[in-house]
Amino acid sequence: GKCLVEWIRALLALILVGVLSFCGLFACVMYGAYDHIQGEPEVMVILGCQVRQDGPSVLLRDRLDEALGYLEAAQLPYSLTVLLENALRCGRTPEEAQAMADYLTAHGVEEEKVLLEPDSHNTAQNLDYSRRLLDREGIDTSDGVLLVSNGFHLTRARMLAERAGFEQVSTLAAPASHLPSRLYMYVREPLALVKSFLFDRAG
């Protein structure tokens, strides 16, 4: 009797702590899910996502269209370096980054202003490899870097970009037009934020 009651109380307390922790992490994800632009970044980094046989997935197209809208509104399509990041998973290929480049150049971005980072397998590698690539290319990021991704992804992306060595990080939040993916990602991202905080380190 009494022992069972104590166990139930302990279990309920653990559940409450878990729910409150998730809510706090969810609030962090939501805070980052908006545009936060500092100054005039001269480098745009578009984080990769799935490419299908017929072209970029809905989520990736959202990212690319948001980037194009920013470039058009800022009237900087030919002065801002655009770096496209791949994320290799489940047999996908480096052609994903190229598919992103093809989409942008088809919409007026000059090919010579587009850099590809085709080797990463996750967001942490995306940003670490991008930093190294920009350094090798001699591209100055002292005026900041603008990360473009779907809103749910940006809190974690900002953390990992700063960890990779980017000093002034701005974010541009794309919508997530695919409703099932949006719902899934807003559940997944708070947990991914913890995982990245603990384990994803620049190599």
Whether pTM > 0.75 for this model: the answer is: yes
* Whole-number pLDDT of residue 77: 43
Please report, as a single letter, which amino acid is at residue 24. G
Residue 140: pLDDT over 90: no
Render pLDDT for 95-105 as a digit per residue (tens, 0 to 9). 777 888 889 99
Residue 162: pLDDT over 90: yes
Quick one: pLDDT band at residue 90, thresholds 50, 70, 90? very low
Residue 3: pLDDT over 50: yes
Contacts 24+ apart (CB under 8 A), 175-183: 175/62, 175/66, 175/150, 175/151, 176/59, 176/62, 176/150, 176/151, 176/152, 177/58, 177/59, 177/61, 177/62, 178/57, 178/58, 178/59, 181/58, 181/59, 182/150, 182/152
Write out the two tokens for 60.
Answer: 């990736």
* Whole-number pLDDT of residue 76: 52
Q: For all residues of the chain together, what is the average pLDDT?
A: 83
> Minimal CA–CA distance to 96: which of 156, 44, 147, 53?
53
Average pLDDT on 3-25 reads 84
Render pLDDT for 37-82 as a digit per residue (tens, 0 to 9). 988 888 999 988 777 777 788 888 999 999 999 988 766 544 567 8
